[in-house]
Structure formats: structure tokens, C-alpha cells
Structure 1
Amino acid sequence: MKNIAGPLQEKPKTREYFIILKIGILLMGFLDFWRKLKKHPSALLGGAVLLIYIMVAVFAPVIAPYGLDHSQLSLRLKPPVWEGGSWEYPLGTDQIGRDLLTRIIYGTRVSLLVGILTVLISTFIGTTLGAIAGYYRGLFDIAISRLADLLLSFPFLIFTVGAMAMLGPGFWNLILALTFKSWVEFYRLVRGEVLREKTREYVEAAQAAGQKDPVIIIFEILPNIIHSITVLGTLRIGYMIIMEASLSYLGLGIPPEIPAWGSMINSGRNHMFNAYWISTLPGLALVLLVLSINLFGEGLRDILDPRLKIE
């Protein structure tokens, strides 16, 4: 009985040790990443600013001083505090009396959601197609590569404007229009990386061991190229945010009833000389967010991409 009960009692302990070991490895990886990140002050600053934006987006209903339906025509074009306004509306009001600070806070949520969702969907599509095309080659590789070349021949903004003109304004229509072309960058990156990695010794060893192709792609190749995908995805978030703002400025992106920085900039262009804050302040928020993402992404590239590390 002792010989039977002994192994049964050791299994839970082994499982607990394995979980603790995994947590320790993750913690060591995080500490190593933090140590390297501290060597890049610009990336650290960009990450801190980006974290503030994310917190503002998450807690927008708590932080915003007013609701989205708050509007008083008697308070239209009220100046910000540094122009003689009151702290009741610290950033002033727009042309129909809406609090500008509230709309900028909620606009943060829209910009980050569009940027992150678009990049996540594009990463999944591009990585899947690129891994299959790079590993198997053949007709599938030729067909998808020619489609990617065709999409790249169109300027991104013009292509997306045409797509939104057909789909109509809307949050999910905007995500669809942006994703329809943005997966190409991830496809080209992953395809090239898989073509290079599939000739490495560890892939040949996995094939000799009898592992199936999907297992080799997912568990052998992808972990070795995930760093490049992460860097590209981080940098593309900022670009997608700019594209969303551009389309909203043209009236083809987010509907007017939803606060978006691009539409806010457009709504204040007729008041640049008597109420510059309506367009300027959302524009500054947009510039600061994209700049912080790019700084953080540049730091990630130096840290995560072994080919670009500076000794």
C-alpha cells in the first residue's frame, strides 16, 4: 500500500513544483526585460505615457467630469482656464457647449480600441497566412503573395477611403476596412522569417523526430519569431490610430455621435481663430499618444530583436 500511495501523493507536488517553476521563469523574464528597458530612457518614457493613456481609456467613465450627453448651448466656445475660463471646464467647450476634456478622454478609448483591435486581427491573419505560405510554399504561397503585392500597390489611405465609402461610417466597418490591407505587413514579415527558420537545425530535428507540420510551426518556429511580430505590431498600432483619425476627420470613420479625435479636429477647423482649443487640444493628444507608442516600439525593437541589439 505504501508503494502505491507514494507515487499518488507525489503527483500533486510535482504539478505544484512545475507551476512554481513556470512562474519563476516568467518573473525572471519580466525582470530581465525591465532591466533592459531601463537602459532605453526614451522607450521607458514612451511606455509610461502609453500606460497613462490606457488607464484613462479604461477608467474614462470615472475620470470624465461630465457624461457624453452633457451639452449647454449657453456655454458654447467657453475658453480653457489659461485663456480666462473656469475650472468647471478646464479645457473649454466646443461649438455646441460640450466639455472638451470629457470628449478627449472618451476619444482616447476610441483611438486605442481601433489601433489595438486592428493590429490584433491583422496579426492573426497575417501570421497564419505567412506561416502556411512560408512553410509549404507552392500555389498557396504564389496566390497569397500576388494578392499581397496587389494590395501594396494601393496607397493605404486612398484604399481605406474607398473601402469606407462603400461600407459607410461605423466602428466595426472601420476595423474591417483597416484590417483588409494591414495584414499584408505581418504576412510578409512572417513568411520571410519562416522561410529562414525552416532550414535551421532545430526544425530538421523536429521533422526527424516525426512531429507534424502544424506542431512544428506553432511550437517550434513561431516562438522564435514572436519577438519580430511583437515589435511590428507595437509600431503599427500608432499608424492605425493615425489612419482612424484621418478617416474620422474626413467624416468616413467613427460616427459623429461618438467622440473621436479626428472628428473633433474637423469640427473645430472653422473656429481656429476664435476657439483654437477645439482642434488643437485633440490634435496634441493624438500626437502625444502616437509618439509614445513609437518610442516604446523602438525600444522593444532594440530589446527583443536579437539582430538589432546594441552590445
Structure 2
Amino acid sequence: MSTIPETDPLKPPPGVILLHSPQLIAWVLPYGARLMQLWWRAAPGGPRPLTLGYADPASYRQDRMSLGAVCGRYANRLDGARLAQGGQTWRLDANHPLGHCLHGGAAGFGQRDWTVAPAQDSSQVTLLLDSAAGDMGFPGRCQAQVVYRLEGASLVWQAQASLDRPSPVNLLQHSYWNLDASGHLRGHHLQADALAWLPTDARELPLPAQPTAGSTLDFHAGRALTAADTALDAALVLTPPATGLRRVARLAVADLALTLSTDRPLLHLYGAGGLQPTAQPLGAAHTAGAALCLETEDLPNGPALGADVWYGPQRDYSHAMRLDFTTP
């Protein structure tokens, strides 16, 4: 296990919010509304870190891999950093090498200081962000709220946003999961309720869905992850369609399993192929293929593809995700 020596999960650094239940301990960082770390308290050998993080909260200010962050205002890629609707166009921040707006721009929600709402108890925290009209080019004022809540052996994440004029919204939680703190994904087993996936073109934008059968994205029956899965970076089309919170995937090692539920239509898998060490880690070392992101989301480049992702005064945005941890 690669925790930092003498780290006490019940004593986070200054400015980090501590949540705990009998089974789990979470550290939440207001910068980027990030899940800095989640520990399994009853792990053999002592509390085990389950995500990738940094030992020093200040290190997140230089993070460009969105470790534990809430990405938005629109996560993933927006083609050409441009929006168009009703005869109007908006130029967004083009922070991707191919000219797209990625994760809401260079100063997207994952790179902002969120406000911590007054605490109700030690198992839950609410974080708030007020994004002005024109922020990174997006139309309308967006008032976002994110909740992290521990319920026994479960972590519940909920995002909401209200807007004073129409704007696309797609908030996602971007933790890197490694359930045995081993430094690689070998030994992990993934199953996902998806029969289709979204290939991407040379500009990293989604193409029409293709069957997962016979591809490296076929996790419907479940399979062990290998070194080749470091290259994973694609969205699965979940079945059944999004009609509410439902169980969609399971990631497991020998002594612990994570069952993921969401109300979103897609699950983006990222095998951390671009991860590089930049600062002292908290948990497994930050090397390529050291973890798997399980990003529940709406359609990448959704506004340009006609997806129903615009929200406004008569329609608030909401997104729920639940992670249930169980032992054999």
C-alpha cells in the first residue's frame, strides 16, 4: 500500500473537509469540489485509500488531470469551443489542443474555489459555486450545488444547477479509482450494463454508437482489466436508458467491490493513460494505468449533436451517482 507515512485519515490537512461513517472516511476539498480521498476503514492492514490524490492540498492548484474534481460547466469536449442555438452563437474558452472547450475551459468548475455551505452533520457536505453569465463564454448565470454524503458503506454524489437563461450543463465527478492501492489496474474486474459505445473521430469527438460485442469496450459480461486497458478513453451507452437512478456497473478486486448507480445515459471509462507523477501522492502513485475513472455523464459534444442538454429558468439541471462498497 502506498499511503503517505503517518497519514491519519481522521486528521485531514487544514482546509480539507472530513466526512465519516462507520465504514468510510472521505476528504473533500473545496477547490474544484474535489473528492480528495476516500478510505475503506475496515481494510486488512488498516484504512485503505480507494482513489488517487495528492498529499498536499496545494498540489491540486497545478493539477491538469482533474483528480477527484467536479468538471463543468459542460464536461468533456465541445467542438471548436462554440455553442449555437436560436440564431445565436457563443465562443467558449478553447483549452484543448484541438481547439475544443474541455471540461468547461481552463478555469472550469474543477479549477475554482467552491463555497462550503454550513455543515449539518459529519457525514455530508454541500458545496456551492456561482458562475456568472459569460464565464468561460457560456451564456447565463449558473448557480451550481454539489453534495457528497456518506451513508454507511455508500458514497452518494449529487449535483444540481439553476440558470437564469438557457445554457448547456453537464457536471461530472472525476475520481480515479484503484480499489487495492496497488499502483495498477491488474487485479480489477469490471462489469458494465452497456451493449454500445461511442467511437471518436480524429478530433476526439463522438461518432454514432457501435455495438460493444467483439470490441475492447465489451464489459457486459464482465472481465478482468489488463495493461492494455490503460488505453481506455471512451463512453459506454448504458442500458436501460436513463429513467432514474439505476445500477449500471461494478468494479471489484479480491476483497472489495464498488457498485455504481446513476441517472445519466453514459459512462465514460478512462484508464489513466495520460497520468504522470507531478507531486507527492496520497494513495497509489500517479503513473499511467494506475486507476480507472468512472464518469457518469451526458453526451460529449451534446449541444452540437442535438442532445437534450440545455437548461434554463423553467428547467433545473440535476445528476445523481451512488457508489456502494461491499465485501465478499
The TM tier, using the shorter chain, reads under 0.3
Q: Could you state the TM-score of these two structures normalised by the residue count of structure 2? A: 0.25
**Structure with bigger gyration radius:** 1
Higher helix share: 1
Higher strand share: 2
Which structure has more RCO (C-alpha within 8 Å, separation ≥ 6)?
1
